[in-house]
A and B are shown apart, each in its own frame.
Chain A
């Protein structure tokens, strides 16, 4: 279970709080969505969960399966099963996608006390997953994300997620910049990973993605706080009424 308690976060070199007392619980086996207007603090929450530099937690806690995430380095968190699908996946010229994937997967497996994959084992798995996501095999040989379209980059994030088999998946605006076919493929990839051992947190501005990935709970975030929580129908309400009500409440 992911337990976020009264989380207050600011940028290291500014005073203004971006997250102003966020509390949230995501039990294993559930998919929660966080929706909210731009600047509400959604992406900050994703980065703080994964341990990015540049943020300072002034109050509160994040526990994952009872362990304090905030004291861990990003790679330690990954070894504990935390995965962030980036809104803007980075291009890494000179590192073949397959090399990156294999290094990541074997690093995590080693830390989890599991046997590292041999190259043929790994290739087989990666190819099978790429095929399921409708990705051409030659993408695995190319430098990671270099020259990939927006949709290809997002598929690559889901491919990484499938290969790393995390237990806490945080998806930051995974649908942004995708056409409807790509949203479907990516959503199918995410749905395949739904399981009773896995918690998922889906951050999105639009309700569209939630037509494909049906959440157990929806939280509305504005002004650095969770303003309202409800079932999947809350997303549909928001689609009609917009965020105006929450923006004014936050202000």
Chain B
């Protein structure tokens, strides 16, 4: 029996856009074959929709009305470095090794030339062309069950292949800047593959931004992260895409024995955001902290969906998400913790808290524990509240005007999450957050 599947305009557009752009997408025959398989998988799956549990609150099939053509080829002209500094805002102050991508293409002219000692960087496009990237099975994953991964494989134009040698402690963060510039609506598809060698310590900042004058579009980004034994990776993702932007992100960290992965997602001022993380503990004694802060206004929609897979024993996971929602903004938190039968001594805790500044805002929270071992400590919680009147009174009784008191209280609320970010990056994040909070409460 065949079932007639009606494809939406966006779904049809994605398939057609692939045919039109396939010849320009980087990579040899093996890559081209993987792309074609992926778009085939996508054609069968369609865009994720609300009847899929993981996409219950973020129905891309109805949210994405059209399919802008992919950004392919070199950008015609690079932005000035002053424009780059301006759009980075407080992130420009962070002393970091910068790698900049404009409309999904590596821009060496805006990037720092020599990679830090112990770090090998290859732009993904170059890796795909030379065949270097083909060595990684994961890079050519078709995403047979995940439409957004399939789309990423089909359309990926560039990204960072980073390999950090074992036993290195990088003295500066690596900053990946993904900048939208095109004056026409475009789909930007980027992919990173990052390997942190045994015992190495790295801070990675990933910023998704739009230059003034860029047309709103869609972006799909995927990061595969591998932490070898005892490696430490602090991974800060900043998404400030622009009001009309739809941004879908997939993070796939694998955490080795004794390794520590600390992720922080800061999201604001973006029309629709899906931040998906699927984390797997590969070796015993691993630790993960996946936290974040999201600020929504207007009709913005911000979805943080995490699956933490305690596949082995003795690992610890922590999640703390804090959101502030104004107007008709909607926040989504889905946190699933899977504890496999052998994963004894698992310690998993998650918390999602939202401050509602408007009665029309919405927060959907779905923590999920799937525990198949008996000697574990797991917990979850979720709250949504308005600004505490008693606290507000305390501030005002000390002479602080209501508006300023509210701003300080909101700042303190998200500050608890931002405190998780390491010191080198924290002030920049707090500054980014403050600027957005001022818009939220104005």
Mask, B404-418, CB within 8 Å of A = 1, is 110011011111100
Please tell me which one of the listed residues B399, B415, B419 contacts residue A75 in the complex, with CB atoms under 8 A apart. Answer: B399
Q: Is the pair B401, A75 in contact by a Cβ cutoff of 8 Å?
A: yes
**Does B44 interact with chain A (Cβ within 8 Å)?**
no
Known: A86-B397, A95-B415, A103-B400. 4 other contacts (CB 8 A): A74-B396, A75-B396, A93-B416, A107-B401
- B412 near A92: Cβ-Cβ < 8 Å: yes
List A contacts of B397 (CB < 8 A): 50-52, 74-75, 77-78, 83-84, 86
Which residues of A, 78-99, contact B by the 8 Å Cβ criterion? 78-79, 83-84, 86, 89-90, 92-95, 99
Set of chain B residues within 8 Å of A52, measured between Cβ atoms: 393, 397
- A187 interface hit (Cβ, 8 Å): no
Asked if A59 is an interface residue, CB under 8 A from chain B, the answer is no
Are A75 and B411 interface neighbours, CB within 8 A?
A: no
Once the chains bind, are B390 and A79 in contact (CB under 8 Å)? no
Judge whether A53 is part of the interface by a CB distance below 8 angstroms: yes
* Closest 7 pairs between A and B when the two form their complex, measured CB to CB: A94-B412, A94-B415, A78-B399, A108-B399, A104-B398, A74-B396, A95-B412
The CA of A52 and the CA of B390, in the complex, are separated in Å by 9
B322 to chain A: closest residue by CB: A94
Residues in B with CB closer than 8 Å to A51 are 396-397
| Shortest CB distance B399–A (Å) | 3
Closest residue on chain B to residue A77 by CB atoms:
B397
Q: Is the CB of B389 within 8 A of A103?
A: no
A75 and B402 alpha carbons, distance in the complex (Å): 8
A160 at the B interface (CB under 8 A)? yes
DSSP majority for the B interface? Answer: helix
Bound state CA distance, A107 and B408, in angstroms? 13
CB contact list, B135-182 vs A, under 8 A:
none
Task: With both chains docked as a complex, state the minimum distance between the C-beta of B238 and any C-beta of chain A, in angstroms.
Answer: 20
Beta-carbon contact of B396 and A78 below 8 Å = yes
Q: Give the chain A neighbours of B393 by CB distance below 8 A.
A: 52-53, 74
Size bracket of the B interface: 20 to 34
Q: Which listed residue, A90, A99, A107, touches B399 by the CB 8 Å rule? A: A107
Q: How far is the CA of A75 from the CA of B393 in the complex (A)?
A: 9
A245 CB to nearest chain B CB (Å)? 34
- C-alpha spacing A6/B195, complex, angstroms: 75
Contact of B408 (CB < 8 Å), options: A84, A100, A108: A100
**Contact surface of B with A, Cβ cutoff 8 Å:** 389-391, 393-402, 404-405, 408-409, 411-416, 419
- Is A73 an interface residue when CB atoms closer than 8 A count as contact? yes
Q: In the complex, what residues of B have CB within 8 A of residue A107's CB? A: 398-401, 404
What's the Cα separation between A52 and B392 when bound, in Å?
Answer: 10
* A/B interface sample: 27 pairs, CB < 8 A: A52-B393, A73-B396, A75-B397, A75-B399, A75-B400, A75-B405, A78-B399, A79-B399, A86-B394, A90-B394, A92-B394, A92-B412, A93-B415, A93-B416, A94-B416, A95-B411, A99-B408, A100-B395, A104-B399, A104-B400, A105-B399, A107-B400, A107-B404, A108-B399, A111-B399, A160-B398, A164-B398
Q: A72 CB to closest chain B CB, in angstroms?
A: 11
Chain A nearest Cβ from B411, distance in angstroms: 7
Residue in A53, A84, A86, A103 with the greatest tally of chain B CB atoms within 10 Å: A103
Task: Write the nearest CB–CB distance from A126 to chain B, whole angstroms.
Answer: 14
CA gap between A45 and B164 in the complex, in Å: 65
Q: Which residues of chain A come closer than 8 Å to B400, judged between CB atoms?
A: 75, 103-104, 107
Cα distance A160–B400 when bound, in Å? 13
CB pair B390–A90 under 8 Å, yes or no, is yes
Whether A73 contacts B399 in the complex (CB less than 8 A), given A90-B390, A94-B419, A100-B408, comes out as: no
Cβ of B405: which chain A residues have Cβ within 8 Å of it?
A: 75
Query: Which chain A residues border B411 with CB–CB below 8 Å?
Result: 94-95
Query: How far does the alpha carbon of A93 sit from the alpha carbon of B412 in the complex, in Å?
Result: 6
Chain B residues with CB below 8 A from A92, complex form: 391, 394, 409, 412
Residues of A within 8 A of B401 (CB): 75, 107
Residue numbers in A under 8 Å from B394 (CB-CB): 86, 89-90, 92
In the complex, chain A residues whose CB is within 8 Å of the CB of B391: 90, 92
Measured CA separation A57–B390 after assembly (Å): 19
| Highest count of chain A CB atoms <10 Å: which of B393, B396, B399 | B399
Task: Give the residue among B395, B414, B419 with the most A Cβ atoms within 10 A.
Answer: B395
CA distance A7 to B238 in the complex (A): 55
Give the Cβ gap from A92 to chain B, nearest Cβ, in Å.
Answer: 6
Q: How far is the CB of A158 from chain B (nearest CB, A)?
A: 13
Q: Which residue of B lies closest to A92 (CB)?
A: B412
Contact: A73 with B415, CB < 8 Å? no
* Chain B residue at minimal CB-CB distance from A75: B396
A104 contacts across to B, CB distance below 8 A: 395, 398-400
